[in-house]
Structure 1
Amino acid sequence: MIIEIIMDVVLPIFVLIGLGALMHRAFQLNLYTLAKINFYYITPAVVFLSMYESSMSPALLGSVTLFYVLYVVLLYGVSSIVSWKRKFKPGMKAAFTNSLILDNSGNYGLPINQLAFKGDPLATSIQALVMTFQSLVTFTYGVISVQRAKSDGTLKAALIGFLKMPVPYALVLGLIFHVFRWPLPEFAAKPLGYIADSMVSIALLTLGAQIIQYLLRLDRLDVYISVFLRLLIGPAIGFLLIYALGLKGIPAQALLIASGMPTGVNSTILAEEYDNEPDFASQTVLISTVLNIITITALISLSKFVG
């Protein structure tokens, strides 16, 4: 089973990430443009279609929402305890917390989900929902925490940033079309399908191009603490919540895998934007992504026995 998961899911993912890294090294790809293509073009199409085609019931939607809220709150609690023990200054505390609660559920999590579940609509819709929640956390708590560590960040500025994102609107529209069973006209359905089909290759190429910018360093204990909590304690919390909420089958499997994503590139973008521990942030992204080869293989194997 493990060899099959490595060959069918993990290896294809990291081949594409590696190709992205090589492309960036050879041609110096425009990362700003790639990020915009992913964020404003591909991801909204995937989210809309996953909601539109979803078989998620209102009860399951509530369960996934509750799971995610509890998951983030518990990770925040773990981060606060570690930050207190390590006597982090405000800036480092913000960067450390972001490294735990801002994971890569988009351009890494969605491809992993699609390959692991072979494009199952329910699994995809759950991952898309998690990614949308992640965007909400990024552009509210993530932004505010760094702003307040460096200056006087406001909730208004963070909410304006969130409202500019297309993903929440795509999710709501997809749900509306799904609930009212409105047929999608062919001239819209086909382009959306073509866009969504490009998601795996383009998202992972972008991720590879992003992480190759960072030089690997192995001399920061705080980075290893963060990676340990992100890749091992995060899934452990996810497993306990799945059990506590009585989730079964594909929802349980999808959420367990989603809880084991590496640190998201957004944590580095925020760190660089506000000059708040950019070295720490970049190292957690790079090392957690590399080590995720091992942990995501184990999680996908374990998920077969959940529920």
Structure 2
Amino acid sequence: MIIGILLEVVLPIFILIGAGVLMQRAFQLDLYTLAKINFYYITPAVVFMSMYESEMSAELFGTIVLYYSIYVTALYLIGRLCSARLKFTRGMRAAFTNALILDNSGNYGLPVNELAFKGDALAGSLQALIMTMQALLTFTYGVFSIQGAKTQGLYRQALIGFLKLPVPYALVAGLVFQIGSIPLPEFLARPLIYADQSLVAIALLTLGAQMIKYPLRLHRKEIYFSVAIRLLAAPVIGILIVLSLGLKGIPAQALILASGMPVGVNASILAEEYQNEPDFTAQTVLFSTLLSVLTLTALIPLSRILAA
């Protein structure tokens, strides 16, 4: 089983990430344009199609929201506790906590889900919902935690930032079309399907190109604390919540797998934007992504056993 997962899920992911690294070294890709293509076309299309083809009930939808709320709250409390014990500065405390709760559920989580569940519509819609809630968290708490009281009108800026995101609108539109059983005309369905099918390759190539920006630094112990919590403690928390909610089957597997994602690139983007511990955050993205090859290889079969 482990060999099969390595060959069918993990190895393809890291081959594509490696290809992105090589292409960035050779051609100096325009990362800004790549990110925009992912963010404003491919990801919204994937979210829309995931919701449109989903068989998720209203009850399951509410359960996922409850799961995610408990999950994020637990990680937030762990982050605050560790920050207090390690006597972090206010800025470092914000960066450390963001690295725990802002994971890469988009250009890493969606492809992992696609490969692990072989395109299962329900699994894909669950991951799309998690990613949408991550976007909400990023542009609310993620921004607030870094900026604090430095900028007047912060709440208004964060709200405007969230309202500009295409993903929430794609999620709502997909749900409306799915609930209303509204057929998609071919001229709309075909571009959405093409974008959906390109997700794995484009998202992982982009991630590889982004990762090469971060030089390795091995001397900061807080990086190791953060990565250990993100890759080891977070899945344990996810598993405990899934079991306590009585989830089984595909929903349980998808949520457990989603809990093991590495630190999100958005955490690094926020840190760079507001110049708040950008080096620390970049290192957590790099290390957690590289080490996730080990943790995901173990987590995928474990999720199947626990969800049975």
TM-score higher than 0.5: yes
Maintained 8 Å contact 1:94/1:149: no
Amino acid at match of 2:121: P
Q: Structure 1 residue 154: deviation in Å?
A: 1.8
Letter in 2 for 1:270: L
What is the CA–CA distance in structure 2 between the aligned matches of 1:55 and 1:161, rounded to whole Å?
30
1:148 aligned onto 2:148:
yes
In the comparison of the two structures, how many residue pairs are matched? 307
What corresponds to 1:46 in structure 2? 46
Q: Tell me the residue number matched to 2:290.
A: 290
1:303 offset after TM fit, Å?
1.0
- Counterpart in the other structure of 1:74: 74
Of all paired residues, the percent bearing the same amino acid is 65
Deviation (angstroms), 1:148: 1.1
Cα distance, 1:191 vs structure 2: 1.0
**Letter of the aligned partner of 1:294 in structure 2?**
L
In the alignment, residue 192 of structure 1 is paired with which amino acid? Answer: L
In 2, the alpha carbon distance for the partners of 1:207 and 1:153 equals 32
1:190 aligns with 190
C-alpha displacement of 1:147: 1.1
Aligned to 2:274: 274
Distance 1:153 1:74, change over 3 A: farther
Residue 151 (structure 1) shift: 4.6
Task: Tell me the alpha carbon deviations over residues 107-146 of structure 1, each in whole angstroms, 9 at most, x when there is no partner.
Answer: 0000000000000000000000000000000011001111
Inter-partner Cα distance in structure 2 for 1:34 and 1:152: 32
Letter matched to residue 238 of structure 1: G
Deviates more, 1:151-160 or 1:224-233: 151-160
| 1:226 counterpart residue number | 226
Letter paired with 1:27: F
| 1:182-261 superposed matches below 5 A | 182-261=182-261
Task: State TM-score, norm by structure 2.
Answer: 0.98
Deviation at 1:304, TM superposition (A): 1.2
Contact kept? 1:95, 1:277, Cα under 8 Å: yes
Letter in 1 for 2:221: L
Instruction: Tell whether the 8 Å contact from 1:150 to 1:274 is kept in structure 2 after alignment.
Output: no
Tell me if the contact between 1:238 and 1:255 (Cα under 8 Å) persists in the aligned partners.
yes
Runs ≥4 in structure 1, deviation > 2 angstroms? 149-153
Aligned-residue offset at 1:32: 0.6
Instruction: Give the corresponding residue for 1:97.
Output: 97
Assess if the C-alpha contact under 8 Å between 1:9 and 1:115 holds in 2: yes
TM-score w.r.t. the length of structure 1 is 0.99
Name the structure 2 match of 1:265.
265
Aligned to 2:35: 35
The residue that corresponds to 1:127 in the other structure is 127
Distance in 2 between residues matched to 1:48 and 1:16, nearest whole Å: 24
Aligned partners of 2:150, 2:278: CA distance in 1, in Å? 13
What residue ranges of structure 2 are gaps of 5+ in the alignment?
none
How do 1:4-23 residues align onto structure 2 when only pairs under 5 Å count?
A: 4-23=4-23
Distance 2:179 2:158 in 1: 30
Please report how far the alpha carbon of residue 300 of structure 1 lies from its aligned counterpart in structure 2 after TM superposition: 0.4
| Whole-Å separation in 2 of the counterparts to 1:21 and 1:267 | 20
Aligned Cα root-mean-square deviation (Å) = 0.9
d(CA) in 1 for partners of 2:132, 2:289: 21
Are residues 133 and 110 of structure 1, via their aligned partners in 2, closer, same or farther at CA, if it must alter by over 3 Å? same
Supply the distance in 1 between the matched residues of 2:212 and 2:152 (Cα, whole angstroms).
32
Query: Which residue does 2:175 correspond to in 1?
Result: 175
1:217–1:283 CA contact under 8 A, matched in 2: yes
For 2:190 and 2:216, how far apart are their aligned partners in 1?
A: 42
SS in structure 2 at match of 1:260: coil
